Amino acid sequence: MLRLTENVMVLGNGNFNYFVVGQKEGVLIECGTSAGVSIFAQQWAELKNKPDIKYILVMHSHFDHACGLPMLKDLFPAAQVVASQATQKILSLDKLKPVLQRADAFVTEAYAKEQLLSAIPGPLEIEQVKVDFTLDEGDSITVDDSLKLEIIEAPGHSPCSLAAYLPGEQVMFISDAGGYQAPNGLMSPVFFQDYDLYLDTIKKLRQYPTVVLGVGHGEVPVGADQVQQFYTLGLEAAEEAFALIKKKLNGGQSDESITAELYDTYIKGAMSYYPRDLMMGSVYQLVKNVKSRL
């Protein structure tokens, strides 16, 4: 556990971050996977003077941001699960449920193999991966009578992505909206939905005064300079990837070959624990999004 501000702390193992906002009443931001929640739960049990979690905020519908919900609901049975309307709709799709189960189990197995878990979680209770109510741009969540989280739509990584801003302490929670910076410093662009929307979202979010950036994975940038550096790296990584993919496509290289090369380049750190075929499909979206603009 690391306290980032008076009212914000981060838990998790660095591969995935869980943010708690509030001291008496709280919001848990990010849900992760079953394996991630196993680590979070152990840390939570060791905490003293922890808040009563009133809300669990799902930042978007990707498996590594939603599959921890059943275990979190066990930990916080009175908490309400909130997300975007698009996330609620996507997570209710029956055809998606086997994909979520397989990916979550894969991560658990990978964590167990690397001895990152003290206890192995049971199978994902897929019917518990659901949203209680939705929020849109301009809505807010209030806890502790005065702490207000402002909800911001953050498309580009996915059509269902949200960001959340805590103005009183200048903390912005962006999940994957700005990219993923691996432990080696490499910034992976993740414009899986749309390239232009992705850039627009980063540019919009960086306008908010921010001293802590709540990223879904990796080291949490602290300090205004570090926050702006992260945003700059995110923009540069996306622009460089676009130029590289465009060059390869114009040179006649196949989509499949480019996707394989990008996978080897960008799927590092936390993402290396994910199913290869799932991530190959995600990386292909980068190629597809560039190709649509040629």
Q: What is the pLDDT of residue 220?
A: 97
8 A C-beta contact, residue 171 and residue 164:
no
E strand or H helix that includes residue 272: none
**Rounded to whole angstroms, how far apart are CA atoms 132 and 79?**
10
Q: What is the pLDDT of residue 155?
A: 98
**Rounded to whole angstroms, how far apart are CA atoms 222 and 213?**
7
Q: What is the pLDDT of residue 145?
A: 80
Q: What is the mean pLDDT of each run of 10 residues along the chain (294 residues)?
A: 94 96 97 97 94 98 97 97 98 96 97 93 94 96 92 98 97 98 94 98 98 97 98 98 98 97 94 96 98 94
Domain count along the chain:
1
Q: What is the pLDDT of residue 128?
A: 94
Pair of tokens at residue 128: 């518990």
Helix residue ranges, H only, the chain: 34-46, 69-75, 85-91, 97-113, 195-205, 224-250, 255-266, 276-291
Pair of tokens at residue 161: 């992505």
Q: What is the pLDDT of residue 230?
A: 98
Domain carrying residue 156:
2-291
Q: How many other C-beta atoms lie within 10 A of the C-beta of residue 52?
A: 14
Q: The domain spanning residue 64 has which CATH number? A: 3.60.15.10
Per cent of the chain over pLDDT 70 is 100
8 A C-beta contact, residue 29 and residue 19:
yes
Q: What is the pLDDT of residue 94?
A: 96
Rg of the chain over all Cα atoms, to the nearest angstrom: 18
Q: What is the pLDDT of residue 1?
A: 77
SS3 151: strand
Nearest CA among 145, 203, 152 for reference residue 178: 203
What count of residues does the chain have?
294
